[in-house]
Amino acid sequence: MTKPKRKRISLALQGGGALGAYTWGALDRLLEDERIEIAAISGSSAGAMCAVVVADGFEEGGAEGARKQLRQFWEGVAKAGESNPYRRTPMMAFLNAFKPGWAQESYLALWADVATRIASPYDFNPLNVNPLKEVLEELVDFERVRKCKHIELFIGATNVETGRVRIFSNGELTADHVMASACLPQLFHAVEIDGEPYWDGGFTGNPALFPLFDVKATRDIVIVQINPVEREGAPHTSVEITARVNEITFNNSLLSELRAIDFVARLMDESRLPEGRYRKMLIHNLSETQALTPLGLGVDLNTDLSFFNTLFDTGRGAAERWLGEHFDALGQRSTVDLVAMFHDAPKSGEAKPLR
């Protein structure tokens, strides 16, 4: 009996430090599903790391190779986090920089937090120590990534001088490009690419959706979202205020692109755009809002493997539910209601606003 044709999707992976382990779990479940083909991945920061790890593993050993490679990466991050204090501190700082409450339970982390407030990384990290780059270089064969034929990659970084996003694709990728995408300026030196300095891609595209518009044979973009868009109530403590400011900042570019997608879709529905020149993209959101939202406020996000495994299980469970509820919609309709998000009150039915 002939197997049904796989549904091709593009993935958009948000950055978010240690919460990227949630993305690991979601990817693990999607790679396990033989009904799905991942055609392209756009990612920033932790999402960029997951993207190159998946592409490398898939090129070498298919879906199982990608799953194995992802586990090795996150186990490697946890192991690097157990290293001597000097290496551990920038590791912890990066993984928790989006959620400032991490400093409350660790003297080392507290030192790093204070240091980033009174000095630049050119002062307190003069050698630009970055354990994440070591983990990535030990695991990923970037020559294989550059030659990858199965998955298109789009890695976003922010040009410090122009303030614009730059997208790096398969054929040019090195560890430096990925670290540029994950370069938080409070912690690490700007990464120079072709003589130009770059910071974290999350500032200008978390993740960038526009590179996925031209991916062949699919209109479906599945966003693996780990930064909540909505959060009830106004924060009051300094930790909560800073955390919410970060969430708003790192979601702003995503919301702007979704608004543009909605605008084009409405123009197409009204036959106000030339036929054949534009495509109506189908937007989906793979998030576990209830489980992830509390983690953004004052929780110590650490490098312990047990913590990563908990997030992994949460991501797998979210992907399992998403597949059960929305697989049939792939190729047919969006499951994120952009109209409700930007124009109307939330409607009943399958499509829901992005949370």
Q: In angstroms, rounded to a whole number, what is the distance separating the alpha carbons of residues 202 and 153?
A: 16
Q: What is the mean pLDDT of residues 16-42?
A: 95
| Amino acid 338: pLDDT | 87
- Is 167 a residue whose pLDDT tops 90? yes
Q: Which tens digit of pLDDT belongs to each residue from 294-308?
A: 554 434 346 788 888
Among 84-88, 173-177, 250-254, the range scoring the smallest mean pLDDT is: 84-88
Q: Which tens digit of pLDDT belongs to each residue from 43-99?
A: 999 999 999 999 999 999 999 999 999 999 999 988 887 764 444 555 555 555 444
- Is 351 a residue whose pLDDT tops 60? no
Q: In angstroms, rounded to a whole number, what is the distance separating the alpha carbons of residues 85 and 109?
A: 10
Is the pLDDT higher at 291 or at 71?
A: 71
Q: What is the mean pLDDT of residues 113-120?
A: 62
14's CB contacts (< 8 A; 6+ apart) are 23, 43, 44, 45, 46, 47, 202, 206, 207, 223, 224, 225, 226, 227, 250, 254
| Amino acid 118: pLDDT | 65
Tell me which amino acid residue 319 is: A
Q: Which residue has the tokens 């003589």?
A: 195
Nearest C-alpha neighbor of 135 from the set 72, 190, 57: 72
SS3 293: helix
- Is 215 a residue whose pLDDT tops 50? yes
Is the pLDDT higher at 307 or at 191?
A: 191
Global pTM value = 0.87
Q: In angstroms, rounded to a whole number, what is the distance separating the alpha carbons of residues 279 and 56?
A: 30
| Amino acid 95: pLDDT | 58
Q: What is the mean pLDDT of residues 10-18?
A: 92
Q: What is the mean pLDDT of residues 268-289?
A: 86
Cβ proximity of 304 and 20 under 8 Å: no
